[in-house]
Structures are given as structure tokens and as C-alpha cells.
A and B are shown apart, each in its own frame.
Chain A
């Protein structure tokens, strides 16, 4: 059963530990954090001070009656606004540095982690899923940090300074006006919580809907053949209705929340007007200007509360992203070097499997008590039905996985005691569907030896008879192979991959159906070229082609995770056992293919 990594998207609970780990990334950005804090504080101060100036200006204009007396106040007004705009500039830049910088570092560390994690990690996680961890998750987390910092400073300061200012002006009126704070806070908390739920539900439905669209496109021929269009649509409509329901719910919740907060703000202003107005009339010393200041404060209150509630919801929403990023960063690779790896031998002269048992899933072994010794100069052909365990042997040899039981010895030393990097530096693996990287053919061959000269690259290509094929491409070695090499046919990719491996000059070659997609004539040429390379090396070959298998020094027939036969081609044919059966079957297929190739 494969695990369902897609579900955890919506489970995120707020876990302060997760965010604390992420806060460590701020260490390198103290200056940006300081500017953000400074920006938040300054803006709050300006915002809190403006109503006070407004009030003063009114009082002075009413009592004094001359514009000249207002000059300094207007100048202060201008200065405050200029400071505000300057702060906006500073904190957006600081936020940018923080968001892009932390994003970059999170991606860098996650990527580095992925380079170390073992294959068992990748088996259960689709590439697309992992990719979005590095793109959208890291981006979301990094983007939330600066704004959260800014808002916390801004909101906290604005709330406290407004409150203090109100109490300084008139503590009784302040008490009355502050009565709305708990209301605002309660409304914000309650609504953000329920809106979080509906927004998560709609996101969940949205991804189900995308999957459904995807399935409709992938299975369009089957749908047509089964005349399933209407039933599919009916099923899809259920999803799209649910989507509409949740989106609408979320919008309606929002459409209650905002007017509610604004009405509460009006209640505050109304209290200030009614109580303060009586004070003005009674001549308690409250001026008209101060009354206006109070009313503006009452309205000002709602902004930080609203904003902080919104920010908290954002953080909740990003919690699952944060959790996924931190848990990726915290994952320990299942395969690691021993603390003190044995000295790297100059070459590998012997690979020995000792009682190796291996299971991808506990209790379901795919390889049982496997024993085999290979010395340099030997080529081992692994044959057998699909799923018999051939590729597992290859993966174990490359230490993509380690044996569940038993051990693999390299020159007599368990390879777990050696360095992983050393082993993999001495390997040449060529897969059936070789992976190429986007770039030129030359870049791809150079992957085998990063400092190779162009002539070395060409020599490697000639060795495996890829040179002529490359010559037919536009720009030859400069041909852009496209994403994952998709501009080349599988056969062409196999040739490039072979050249890459040969340039690598490894001690151990592993060829997993490496030439299955090149035509018979080319394959013979490749064989001739490779034979020279393999002369004093160890090679594991999985192949269906007879010509490839027959050249091996030892043929090992594997079935159900065990060796059922081994020997030379002649011995095995004479035995008339499993190999004979496979061989004759394959023989027919090959001759048939040849028949079609020449045409009737």
C-alpha cells in the first residue's frame, strides 16, 4: 500500500516548536529583522500620533484663528508622513531580503538533504510531491516570516501606544472606548478559526478537483470507449458543487466578519462621541480637538486587531508547510557512512554477496539468501523473469539500498564500513531508460568526468559507437537534449548514457538493460567497444539480448529472489532448465523482430 502524502496538507496544527526551528534561519538576517521591527514601530508611532496632531491642529485653528500658528504643526505633519513613506520603503526592502534570503536557504538545505536521503525515502514520495516541498512550501514559510515580524511589532506598539495616549488625554473616556477591545479580539479569534476551516476544506476539494481534471485528460480514450462521459461529469459535479459550497461558506464568513468589526469600531466612536460630547458641553476640559482624536483612535483600534488575526490565520495555514519543511530537514538518511570509514582502496577487485536477503517492505523479501562472488575481469549476466530480483541486486551493489540480512563485501570489507561516496565514485550505472539532464549532449557525457576535455568526451563516445549517432544530430555534441533528454529517442539516450559511464572510467559497471532500445547491428558494435573497457573490471549485466548474455563469464538465472541456475551459456543450455526455456523464448522474439526489420 503506498502512503498518501497528499493528505497531510490540511492537518497542520500550530506547533510553536516547528516555527522556532525556522526562526533559526533569521540569525543571518539580524539587520533585516531590526529594520522590519524599526519599520513596524515607526509606522505604529506615526499612526498613533496623527490623530493627536489632528486634534491639536483643530484646537489651535479654532482658538487661535491664525494659519501662522499652525505652521509648525503642518511641518510636523509633513515630517511624519515622510518618515512613514521612508519606513515603507525600508521595511518592504527588508521583508524582501528576509523572504528571498530565507527562502533560498531553506531550499538549499532541503535540496542538500534530498541529495543525502536514501532511496527508501524516495520510493514512497512522488517527484511532484517533493518538488512542491522545495518550491511552494519553502516559499510560503519564507514569505510569512517578515510580515509576521512586522505585524507583531506594529500591532503591539500601535495597540499599546493608542491605549496609553487615550488614558493620558482622558482616562475615563479611555476606559469607555477601550470596552470595545475585547469584543474586537473575540470576534477576530472566532471568525479566523472558522474561516481557517472552510478555507482548508476548499483547498482540499480543489486538489481533488485538479486530480479529477487530470484523470479526465489521461483517461479520455477509455472514457470515450466506455461512454462514461455523463457519469464522469456527474461525479465531477459533486466535487465542483462541494467546492462552490466551501468557497461560498468562506466568503460568507468573511462577509460577516469585516462588517462586524467595522460596526464594533463604530460603537467605539459612538461611545466616544456621546460620552466625550457631554464632557465638552459640561466644560470638563475636553476640547473638540481631543474628542476628534478619540473618535479616530476608536476606529484605529480595529486595524491591528484585524491584521494580527489575519496574520495568525496565515501562520496556521502555513503550519503544515512549515512542518513538512522542518520534518524534511530533520529526516536522517537510512544509509549513512560509518563513523570511521575504512580506507579507500585504489580499486575494487572483488564484490561478494554473503547470504544477502533484502525486502523493500518488511516481511516481503524480494531476495533470499543470495550468494555470489565476482572478481575483476568478470562479467556477470543476470537473467530471469521480470520481478525476479535482478534490479534489486543492482540497487544493492550500488548501495542504493543495503541488505536487510547478510552483507556485501568489497575486497573483503563490508561496504557499510566503507565510504558511500568512494563506492559510488567507482560505479558506472547505465539504466534501461537512462536519465539525461537538460543541456547539450556534451554536458551530459561530461557528467561522467566534470573536468573532461572535449576530445576525451569524443573518445568516450567513439568507444561506445555513439559518435556517429551524435554526428547526425543538429549541432552534434552541442545538441540540446531537452528536459530529461526527451528530444532524443530511448536508443540515443542509451548511447549517450553509455558514453557518460565510459568516460567515468569506473571499477564496477552495472548495465541494466542498457542497450535494449538500440538496433541489433548497433548493439553489436557497442558490445565490441565495451568489451575492451570491461577487460579488467567487474560488470553486472541485465539483458534480454542473447549476444550480450552469451559473452558473459557467468550467467546467473534468478527467479523468486533466488539463484536457480548458474554457469556458462553452454553448460546452462545443456542443462535444458530454466535458462534454456528463457533463451529459446527470447530467441524466437529476436528472430521475429529481425524478420519485421527486413520486411516481408
Chain B
């Protein structure tokens, strides 16, 4: 995967020096680690056995460096100290290696997380519509974790295993070349065996994961449907259903255990075989007198040191495949173009919260828009035209699916219209940077999203850094008729909402969202069925509040209740993407049509008999 290699290289940007130093300390730590048993080897051969007379030149040099055979005979604590000192320096190198590798990999992970977070916020809505949020979430969390582990441990582990294998060879060759060959005789078989094994293990892992997924969804389904289970008294049936998926998971898991048992037992046997080869060869050379005790000791120690990491190499290499996939998956998100490409990049605070210059004029001309580009799907908006003068109020009516909410989403540039023209204060919408236009608009949706923060933070969310603006907060909350409800909460405005706090009712959420958009003091106020969960009385209070601020913003209200729209300056009736009627309440009611029919239904409640013959309307 050359692509993944490039990505990996790209990710280490800014941390390469640290990472490089980490790998350097790794080499040092491994090399020093193999020096430690050289000390007892030298002491054994150069001091203890036969007065050191048979020691090799290499051993002699080490002994001389420590003071010579005779000197050491009475001062054996010196080599002991040297050994501890080398071990300590090895330890320091290991520490530096782990620390730097961790600091580099954590930085990579943090950078990746931040970039992903930033990027998913900026993905265009059409892209987000196509993606499943569970999948995105997984890429941002567990995939990043896999990438992190790759840098923190896998790279290091592979490097370590390789070095552990390579570094002692020259030392052993220095002592005895025959021992060197014996030491690595079947190492390739061990590596190959474990690599093949872990490759073949993969389908079993997948099967286990699939079984676990099935079991989890049995639980989830049972818990979400617990009322049905109880109402039908089907507890026993559910238990046996769960027993079968949970049992299937157990069996898959056990299959893995069984295979692992075979693998570890076999690979342990192979490792032991390697050790026995070394021991047998060593002993044979020892009896021949061509190998010294200390040298023998060193060889068997070195083999035990590298044989266990080597055994793990197959597993690490198998994991490597997973890491490469995870890197690609994260990369794919980052490569999806965000919606601000080519737009000015000044901080949002400059553009978004520009001074309110009063309501803006909005003109739609022959606007066409379709979510789906498939042939034969009718567009959601099909030639919509209307004009809202600055500071005026537009009411949008029509059945669901008529395109009312789409008008709001186009204005916010969540989607871009296919053809026609939308202008705001004479500027073509397509040319206005998204952040600028969004900063001008205060939006309240039918099911508004509130952040898991306190009420205060939610309401004052667009007044960043002014969380103490009590007046703005309370007056916005009062206009939105939610101030009193908030005061009833024990912690008032400091009440935490969301997963870790209280759950607000639909109407309360709508009103909090209205307060939030009022704090924003927008030039355009978009209410997309935002009063649907608010009762009529409260609604008229809120509308009266809006009325008093009228000149500050142009208002677009999508509503179902015509009483909500009665005072609108222009009312547009939409049906299946087209404007079928347009006018004020008074002009629309004067002519026969959808609007008047609706109005009659909503006001004329005297006729309480069977529903009228519907076909006669319109």
C-alpha cells in the first residue's frame, strides 16, 4: 500500500525528530542489553575458570579494560558494578525510547483526532447524508486508537524484534561463529510459522466479531422492546433466543482459544527446539574444549533474549495489516473536500458576528433544487420565486414534503441550489462565504439540537466569551417565553442538559433554541416549524416579542397553524416544490384556493359532522 506509506509519512510530520531519536535509543537499548551478559561471560572466562588463561582475545580486552585478571580476582564487585551500570544505561535508553515514541505517537494521535473533528464539522451536508454516523464515529475513535497503537508500539515492537535478532549475531560471531549459526538455525521457521498462522487466524477473528455483533443486537432488541416482551410474557422465549446467540459467540470464542492453544504450544516447542540446538551445539563444543563456559553462558542467554520477541513478530505483522486499513479509513475522511474550500479563512468571529445592519432583503428567482441527482426524481424545489423586503416577515405554508424546510436549508447554504438565483441584499447567495451567511441567520429547527452544556452556555453560545451577559440571556429567554420555566429548575440557568443532565420537553427545547438565536441578533431569523410543540397562547406571546424587534431582522416562518402566519407580510403557499399561491393573509383569504380552504378548516369549527367530501375543495 504505497498510499498508506505516504499517509504514515505525512502523519509523522513535526514529530519525525522525536520519533527518529526514539528509534535511535531503541538501537542503543538493544545493543546495551546484549552487553549486560557479556560481563559475566568475561568474568567466567577471564577470571574464574582456569585463572583466565584460556580466554579469547575479545574477552581479554574486556577483562583488561576492567583492570586485568589478577586485579579483579579480589575485586569482583567491579564487574558487578559494570553490569548494573550497563543495565541502568540500557534502562535509561529504554525509558527514553518509550517516552519519545509515546510522546510522538500521542501527538500524532491528537493531531489526527483534532483534524478529524475539525473536518467532520466542515463536511458538506450532501456528503454527511450519504454517510452513516456510526461509521464516522468509529473512524474517529477506534481507528485513531489503532493508528496510535501502530506508532506507539507496533513500529517499535517490529523494530525491537528485528534488532533483538540482528544485534547479538556479531557478538556471538565474535565469540564463536559455529554458535552463531546454531543460534538462528530455525528462527526463519518460527517467524514464518507465526506469520502464516496469524494470517489464517483472521477469518476466525471476523467470525467471532460477527457472532458478538449478533449477540449484542439480540440484547439491544430485547431491551428496546422490553415492553413488548413483558406485554406478551415472552421472557422464556427471549432467554432461549439469547442463549442461542450468546452460545454461538461462546463457541466462536472457544474456537479461537483452541487455535491459540495449538499455536502457542507449537511455537513454544519450536522456540525450545532452537534453544536445545544451541545447548547441544554449545555443550559439544564445550567438551571439545573449543568453547569456554562464559561463551556458552552468553550464547544461551542471548538466545533466550531474542527468541520470545521473535515469536511475537508474526502477530505484530498480522496486526500491521489492520493498522494500515485504519490509516486509510481515517485518511479517506480527511481527503473528502470540506465545504469551505476556496472561502476566506478569517476567524469566524470576524465574519459571523458582524454588526447587525438591520434585516436583509431576500429574493428567490426560479430556484430549482433536488437532493437526489437520479433521473426521474422530481426536484424538491421546482422553480420557486418570491421576494422578502428587508425587515419583512415571510410565512411559508404547505403540506409536508412541499419544500418548506428546503428553503431554509438553501438559505443556510447547507445545500446549494441547482439552478435559478437566490440573492441576499442583492448578493448572489452562492458567492457569499458560508460562514458569513450563516453568521447572518438565526435558525430554529423543529427539533432543535442543544449541546450538552448548561442552559446558560446554550443560550449564550453565539456570544462567545460573554457568558456573564445576564441581560442578553434573560431578555432573550423572556422573549422566547422560557425564562420562567428555567427559573423553576433548581439550578436555573446553570442546569446541565443532555446526556448527563436533564431532558427538556420538545416545547422547552424549541424555546431555548429561540432564545439562543435571539442572542445572536441575526439579520435573518429562520423559524422552521419551530413553534410546533409550543401551545397557541405561548406562541402568540413569542410572536409579539418578535414583532417588537421587527426592523432588526427579516423573518421567515415555516408553520402549520395559519394563526401563526396571520400577521406575516407575505405568505407563500408551497406544494410539491412549486409556489401555488402568494400574497398576504387578506388577499389570500379573498380568493378560493388552498389557503382559504386551510383557513376555513382551522377557523370554522361549527360543523362537527362527518368530514366534508374532500374532493370538492379547491
Interface on A for B, CB 8 Å cutoff?
A: 1-2, 4, 6, 54, 57-58, 61-62, 64-67, 70, 74, 77-78, 81-82, 84-86, 88-90, 92-93, 95-97, 99-101, 103-104, 107-108, 111-112, 114-116, 119, 122, 127-128, 130-131, 134-135, 206, 209-233, 236-237, 240-241, 243-244, 247-248, 251-252, 254-256, 258-260, 262-263, 265-267, 269-271, 273-275, 277-278, 280-281, 288, 291-292, 295, 387, 398, 400, 421, 424-425, 427-429, 431, 434-438, 447-448, 450, 483-484, 500, 504, 510, 573, 583-585, 587-588, 590-592, 594-600
Partner of A427 from the list B223, B231, B243, B279 (CB cut-off 8 Å) is: B231
The answer to whether B257 and A100 touch across the interface, beta carbons within 8 angstroms, is: yes
**B172-191 vs A, Cβ < 8 Å mask (1 yes, 0 no):** 00000000000000000000
The answer to whether A281 and B140 touch across the interface, beta carbons within 8 angstroms, is: no
Given contacts A231-B464, A281-B73, contact A61 B283 (CB under 8 A): yes
Cα-based distance from A591 to B81 in the complex (angstroms): 96
CB neighbours of A78 from chain B (8 A): 276
CB neighbours of B464 from chain A (8 A): 231
Closest to B237 in A: A450
- Report if B12 contacts A (CB, 8 A): no
The answer to whether A251 and B261 touch across the interface, beta carbons within 8 angstroms, is: no
Cα-based distance from A280 to B52 in the complex (angstroms): 13
Given contacts A78-B276, A211-B499, contact A222 B448 (CB under 8 A): yes
- Report if B80 contacts A (CB, 8 A): yes
The answer to whether B76 and A228 touch across the interface, beta carbons within 8 angstroms, is: no
The answer to whether B103 and A248 touch across the interface, beta carbons within 8 angstroms, is: yes
The answer to whether B601 and A262 touch across the interface, beta carbons within 8 angstroms, is: no
CB neighbours of B420 from chain A (8 A): none
CB neighbours of A90 from chain B (8 A): 261
If A81-B272, A252-B98, A263-B87 are given as contacts, then 19 extra A-B residue pairs at C-beta distance below 8 Å, sorted by A number, are A2-B500, A58-B293, A62-B49, A88-B265, A107-B242, A111-B219, A115-B222, A115-B235, A211-B499, A230-B348, A233-B118, A237-B114, A255-B95, A255-B99, A263-B91, A436-B225, A450-B234, A588-B601, A591-B614
Given contacts A92-B264, A111-B242, A240-B114, contact A592 B602 (CB under 8 A): yes
Partner of B113 from the list A232, A240, A280 (CB cut-off 8 Å) is: A240
Cα-based distance from A267 to B269 in the complex (angstroms): 31
The answer to whether B121 and A232 touch across the interface, beta carbons within 8 angstroms, is: yes
Partner of B83 from the list A111, A247, A273 (CB cut-off 8 Å) is: A273
Question: In the complex, how many angstroms separate the beta carbon of A286 from the nearest chain B beta carbon?
Answer: 10
Question: In the complex, how many angstroms separate the beta carbon of B115 from the nearest chain A beta carbon?
Answer: 10
Partner of A248 from the list B106, B238, B265, B448 (CB cut-off 8 Å) is: B106
CB neighbours of A271 from chain B (8 A): 80
The answer to whether A424 and B231 touch across the interface, beta carbons within 8 angstroms, is: yes
The answer to whether A428 and B347 touch across the interface, beta carbons within 8 angstroms, is: no
Partner of A74 from the list B136, B280, B449, B580 (CB cut-off 8 Å) is: B280
Question: In the complex, how many angstroms separate the beta carbon of B97 from the nearest chain A beta carbon?
Answer: 8
- Report if B300 contacts A (CB, 8 A): yes
CB neighbours of B256 from chain A (8 A): 96
The answer to whether A96 and B261 touch across the interface, beta carbons within 8 angstroms, is: yes
Given contacts A240-B114, A588-B601, A588-B602, contact A438 B217 (CB under 8 A): yes
Given contacts A6-B500, A427-B231, contact A256 B43 (CB under 8 A): no
Given contacts A225-B441, A236-B114, A288-B49, contact A74 B225 (CB under 8 A): no
Chain A interface: which of B322-330, B550-558, B583-591, B592-600? B592-600
The answer to whether A251 and B152 touch across the interface, beta carbons within 8 angstroms, is: yes
- Report if B337 contacts A (CB, 8 A): no
Q: Which of B506-544 contact A (CB under 8 A)?
A: 516, 520
- Report if B260 contacts A (CB, 8 A): yes
Give 6 pairs: A residue, B residue, CB < 8 Å, sorted on A. Answer: A6-B499, A86-B265, A131-B220, A233-B121, A255-B98, A595-B617
The answer to whether A213 and B44 touch across the interface, beta carbons within 8 angstroms, is: no
Cα-based distance from A260 to B48 in the complex (angstroms): 29
The answer to whether A226 and B438 touch across the interface, beta carbons within 8 angstroms, is: yes
- Report if B47 contacts A (CB, 8 A): yes
Cα-based distance from A301 to B459 in the complex (angstroms): 62
Chain A interface: which of B161-169, B192-200, B245-253? B245-253
The answer to whether B43 and A54 touch across the interface, beta carbons within 8 angstroms, is: no
Q: Which of B319-371 contact A (CB under 8 A)?
A: 347-349, 351-352
Cα-based distance from A244 to B15 in the complex (angstroms): 14
Interface majority SS (helix, strand, loop, mixed), chain A:
helix
Partner of A225 from the list B79, B253, B412 (CB cut-off 8 Å) is: B412
Closest to A115 in B: B235
The answer to whether B224 and A594 touch across the interface, beta carbons within 8 angstroms, is: no
Cα-based distance from A128 to B221 in the complex (angstroms): 11
Cα-based distance from A585 to B535 in the complex (angstroms): 12
CB neighbours of B219 from chain A (8 A): 111, 130-131, 134-135
The answer to whether B250 and A92 touch across the interface, beta carbons within 8 angstroms, is: no
Closest to B213 in A: A135
Cα-based distance from A115 to B86 in the complex (angstroms): 62
- Report if B117 contacts A (CB, 8 A): yes
The answer to whether B87 and A266 touch across the interface, beta carbons within 8 angstroms, is: yes
**Which has the most chain A C-beta neighbours within 10 Å: B103, B227, B412, B462?**
B227
CB neighbours of A4 from chain B (8 A): 500
Partner of B269 from the list A54, A66, A82, A266 (CB cut-off 8 Å) is: A82
Cα-based distance from A258 to B99 in the complex (angstroms): 12
CB neighbours of B90 from chain A (8 A): 259, 262-263
The answer to whether B261 and A226 touch across the interface, beta carbons within 8 angstroms, is: no
- Report if B122 contacts A (CB, 8 A): yes
CB neighbours of A96 from chain B (8 A): 253-254, 256-258, 260-261
Cα-based distance from A429 to B227 in the complex (angstroms): 9
Q: Which of B419-450 contact A (CB under 8 A)?
A: 434-435, 438-439, 441, 443, 445, 448-449
Question: In the complex, how many angstroms separate the beta carbon of B198 from the nearest chain A beta carbon?
Answer: 16
The answer to whether B412 and A224 touch across the interface, beta carbons within 8 angstroms, is: yes
The answer to whether A88 and B264 touch across the interface, beta carbons within 8 angstroms, is: yes
Given contacts A86-B265, A213-B137, A213-B140, contact A58 B452 (CB under 8 A): no
- Report if B109 contacts A (CB, 8 A): yes
**Which has the most chain A C-beta neighbours within 10 Å: B48, B83, B228, B242?**
B228
CB neighbours of A227 from chain B (8 A): 348, 351-352, 435, 438-439, 462
The answer to whether A115 and B502 touch across the interface, beta carbons within 8 angstroms, is: no
Cα-based distance from A436 to B90 in the complex (angstroms): 62
CB neighbours of B216 from chain A (8 A): 131, 135
Question: In the complex, how many angstroms separate the beta carbon of B248 from the nearest chain A beta carbon?
Answer: 10
Cα-based distance from A215 to B77 in the complex (angstroms): 63
The answer to whether A213 and B117 touch across the interface, beta carbons within 8 angstroms, is: yes
Question: In the complex, how many angstroms separate the beta carbon of A101 from the nearest chain B beta carbon?
Answer: 7
The answer to whether B120 and A220 touch across the interface, beta carbons within 8 angstroms, is: yes
Closest 6 pairs between A and B when the two form their complex, measured CB to CB: A96-B257, A259-B91, A266-B87, A255-B98, A251-B102, A270-B80
Cα-based distance from A237 to B117 in the complex (angstroms): 9
Question: In the complex, how many angstroms separate the beta carbon of B577 from the nearest chain A beta carbon?
Answer: 13
The answer to whether A89 and B261 touch across the interface, beta carbons within 8 angstroms, is: yes
Closest to B212 in A: A135
CB neighbours of B289 from chain A (8 A): 65
- Report if B239 contacts A (CB, 8 A): yes
**Which has the most chain B C-beta neighbours within 10 Å: A77, A115, A590?**
A115
**B259-272 vs A, Cβ < 8 Å mask (1 yes, 0 no):** 01110111011001
The answer to whether A229 and B48 touch across the interface, beta carbons within 8 angstroms, is: no
Cα-based distance from A281 to B51 in the complex (angstroms): 9
The answer to whether A259 and B92 touch across the interface, beta carbons within 8 angstroms, is: yes
Chain A interface: which of B60-68, B379-387, B477-485, B605-613? B605-613
- Report if B210 contacts A (CB, 8 A): no
Cα-based distance from A454 to B462 in the complex (angstroms): 60
The answer to whether A591 and B601 touch across the interface, beta carbons within 8 angstroms, is: yes
Closest to B576 in A: A599
Question: In the complex, how many angstroms separate the beta carbon of B228 from the nearest chain A beta carbon?
Answer: 5
Given contacts A70-B287, A93-B258, A135-B216, contact A592 B598 (CB under 8 A): yes
- Report if B205 contacts A (CB, 8 A): no
Cα-based distance from A429 to B604 in the complex (angstroms): 37
